[in-house]
């Protein structure tokens, strides 16, 4: 498990989107690029948005 995932788990920072990891994010990007699948892009953007918002939560919990 990646360090960031371990920290988020330990600090109880949860995602709204579940079942998607970095590998799935790459697959969503390829699906969008290859097939112009707008649903794949929407999911990927939401996944990335959660990453950014969770980094803010992580910073707040670590008080840095």
pLDDT 10s digits, 37-59: 999 999 999 999 999 999 999 99
- The structure's pTM equals 0.85
For residue 26, the enclosing domain spans 3-62
Number of domains in the chain: 1
CA distance 61 to 22: 23
Q: What is the mean pLDDT of the chain?
A: 93
CA distances 15 to 30, 31, 32, 33, 37, Å, are 23, 22, 22, 25, 23
């Amino acid at each position: 498990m990646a360090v960031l995932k371990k920290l988020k788990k330990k600090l109880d920072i949860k995602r709204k989107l579940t079942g998607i990891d970095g590998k799935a994010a790459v697959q969503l990007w390829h699906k969008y690029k290859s097939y112009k699948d707008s649903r794949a892009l929407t999911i990927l953007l939401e996944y990335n948005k959660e990453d950014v918002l969770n980094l803010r939560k992580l910073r707040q919990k670590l008080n840095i």
